Amino acid sequence: MSSSSAFASVNPVRRTRPVAVDLFSGAGGMSLGFEQAGYDVVAAVEYDPVHAATHAFNFPQCEVLCRDASLVSAEDVLAAAERGYKRLHPGKVWPGRLDALIGGPPCQGFSTGGKREQDDERNDLLLHFVRLVEELKPRTFCLENVAGLLEDKFSDIRESAFRRLREAGYALSGTDKPVNSLNFGVPQSRRRVIVLGALGDVAPSRPQQVEGTVSVEEAFEGLPSPFGYDVLLESDEVTLRSEDIEARTATKNIYARTLAGLTGSPGDKSRPRLWEPTALTGSRLTTHAEQTIMRFAATDAGTVEPKSRLYRLPLKGPSRTLRAGTGSERGSHTSPRPIHPTEDRVITVREAARLHGYPDWFRFHTTNWHGHRQVGNSVPPPLARAAGLALMASLGHSPVLLRATVSLGDSSLLSLSRTEAQSVFDATADEIPAARTRKPASQDDGVQTLPDARTG
């Protein structure tokens, strides 16, 4: 009898929360989706100190390791998981094993948005995810990556990874074709490979799709124009005027109401966060040159502005894939942000977050460069949630709702420079991204090297 079938046969459906660790966690899209599915994400591993700080703000009870995953051992991960578990469950005995190891290894080497290089060193991080699965032997795992991973040119590394996972005792699903976040209630076309694994002979089911689609117009409903608040030229947050609060409260669309915290999301098992709903966050304006504004004004919705090559979002349809730009080790280039569908500017971080499925309480770094990079690099939480629910069935768990609220972290974590964040986590220089000298940035079209990121 296989290990998984034996496990299922002697364990009825359990009313407990399974334990997960998020590798390559970034700001926390995968962590949030799995928490919504009913997991305790007790630890996260992220080598970029700025992203690690953002994760720590949004998941203050999670133990964050600011480490290079290629240098992290199974013992390191388990020790962090134990600390996070005891923080979440004071007085309870650490179970000593992971129910799920989740993560999306950096995928630029496989991505259609990059150079698609077979020898990109970041491709090796896929095999370090596999290594940690082999060493930790979690009951299940979720591996997320770009659709390009399935191309023939990457067959050697892909098949090596899948073979090792099977040899380690896992049955796999999702190895043959990508999924699209559009089919999981996200107003953005984003094709991704979601490989799920479970110990034993029975592969996890594929993530369950939902009916219907969400448009950009529906996603943005209730968000006031940042042009109405001069402070957003210098800050990413503002207290809303009463008329804007009333307009948001009157939102009709269920997607927007859910992200605004006006309506509970059916089946959401995440810990409720304490936050200030009268505040608008992640909404720092980008300053454009007059000529740029004129070009944006002449660009029809759903088309590309010829000079900047920026795409103008449609109102009635979904967004194209949001991209992330590059980190400090790759020159610190900002992501090509879409043009707003009705205003002649690129979208804000909060608007990008709405297109990704993040609730409004979830915050990102206060600079536009880091904030957009954190959104564009992340897994849309609704997609991660669907993957988590598929693995939950393999574990024999029934999701448990938690009503106790959680206070978010210290907001100073959201404005740290790279070196400041490095100090917070006692991260060593050889395990964080090395800074590359950037060219001076001109006024922002949404595509140049970014002027407002504090790299330390």
CA 163 – CA 195 distance, rounded (Å): 13
Residues 207 and 246 in one domain: no
In the three-class reduction of DSSP (H, G, I as helix; E, B as strand; rest coil), residue 14 is classed as strand
Q: Are 29 and 380 in contact (CB under 8 A)?
A: yes
Q: Shortest CA distance to 353 belongs to which of 408, 444, 274, 283?
A: 283
- Percent of the chain with pLDDT strictly greater than 70: 86
Residue 9's pLDDT is what?
33
pTM to 2 decimal places: 0.90
Residue 183 has pLDDT above 80, yes or no: yes
Among the listed residues 263, 338, 260, the one whose alpha carbon sits nearest the alpha carbon of residue 305: 338
- Strands (E) located in 129-174: 140-146, 170-173
Token output for 347: 């979208």
Answer yes or no: 62 catalytic.
no
- The pLDDT assigned to 11 comes to 43
165 lies in a domain? yes
Split at pLDDT 50, 70, 90, the class of 114 is very low
Q: Is residue 127 classed as helix, strand or coil in its secondary structure?
A: helix
CA 119 to chain centre: 25
Burial class (CB in 10 A: 0-12, 13-18, 19+), 135: middle
- E strand or H helix at 67: none
Residue 390: which domain range?
A: 3-211+379-407
Instruction: Name the amino acid, one letter, at 29.
Output: G
What confidence tens digit (pLDDT) does each residue in 293-316 have? 999 999 999 999 999 999 999 999
Residues 241, 369 within the same domain: yes
We report the CATH number of the domain holding residue 250 as 3.90.120.10
Same domain, 206 and 274: no
Same domain for 73 and 202, yes or no, is: yes
Residue 84 is predicted with a pLDDT of: 97
Q: Are 406 and 273 in contact (CB under 8 A)?
A: yes
Return the HEC string of 17-43.
CCEEEEECCCCCHHHHHHHHHCCEEEE
In the predicted model, is pLDDT for residue 453 greater than 80? no
- Tell me, yes or no, whether 385 and 327 share the same domain: no
Q: Compute the C-alpha angle 218/219/221, nearest 5°.
A: 65
Which residue in 62, 66, 107, 142 is the catalytic one?
A: 107
Q: Report which of 328, 333, 284 is spatially closest to residue 418, judged by C-alpha positions.
A: 328
The CA angle 35-107-415, to the nearest 5 degrees, is 60
d(CA 426, CA 420): 10
121 vs 146 pLDDT, higher one: 146
Do both 88 and 189 map to the same domain? Answer: yes
Mean pLDDT of the chain: 89
Report d(CA 270, CA 267) in Å as an integer: 9
Quick one: pLDDT at residue 324? 79
pLDDT at 454: 29
Instruction: Kindly tell me the burial class for residue 334, based on how many C-beta atoms sit within 10 Å of its own C-beta (0-12, 13-18, 19 or more).
Output: buried
Lowest-confidence range among 5-19, 115-129, 442-456?
A: 442-456
Report if residue 420 sits inside a domain. no
Report pLDDT digits (tens) over 160-176. 999 999 999 999 999 99
| Same structural domain, 227 and 205 | no
Domain-embedded: residue 425: no
**Can you state the percent helix, strand and coil of the chain, rounding each to 5?**
35, 15, 50
DSSP label at 206?
P
Mean pLDDT of 137-160: 95
Which amino acid appears at position 449 of this protein? T
Is residue 445 over pLDDT 80?
A: no
The partner residues of 145 in beta bridges, in order of sequence, read 193
Half-sphere exposure of 303 (CA within 13 A, CB side): 10
User: 63 and 128 in one domain?
Assistant: yes
Looking at the domain assignment, is residue 43 inside a domain? yes
Mean pLDDT of the region 76-92: 96
| Helix pair angle (368-377, 349-356), 10° resolution | 10
- Alpha-carbon torsion, ordered 131, 137, 140, 143, to 10 deg: -10
Cα–chain center distance at 374: 7
Count CA within 13 A, CB hemisphere, residue 210.
16
- Helix segments in 137-201, DSSP class H: 155-167
> Is residue 180 domain-shared with residue 320, that is, in the same domain?
no
Domain boundary among 377, 393, 416: 377
Measured at the alpha carbon of residue 434, what is the angle toward residues 428 and 439, in degrees to the nearest 5?
150
Extract the tokens encoding 169.
Answer: 């005792």
* Domain membership flag for residue 428: no
Instruction: Name the residue with higher pLDDT: 195 or 7.
Output: 195
One domain, residues 94 and 130: yes
Q: Each residue of 403-421: pLDDT tens digit? A: 789 999 999 999 999 999 9
Rg (CA), the chain: 21
* 365: helix, strand or coil: coil
- Residue 109 has what DSSP assignment? T
What confidence tier does 430 reach under pLDDT thresholds 50, 70, 90? Answer: confident
For residues 107 and 124, what is the distance between their CA atoms, to the nearest angstrom? 10
Quote the strand ranges of 131-241, DSSP E: 140-146, 170-173, 179-180, 191-199, 238-239
Share of the chain above pLDDT 90, in %: 80
Check whether residue 258 and residue 330 sit in a common domain: yes
pLDDT in tens, 188-208: 999 999 999 999 999 999 999
Structural domain includes residue 419:
no
| Nearest of 205, 212, 219, 162 to residue 351 by alpha carbon | 219
Q: How far apart are CA 369 and CA 421, in angstroms?
A: 16
CA dihedral 3, 6, 11, 16 (to 10 degrees): 10
Contact 256, 340 (CB under 8 A): no
CATH number of the domain encompassing residue 145: 3.40.50.150
Number of independent structural domains in the chain: 2
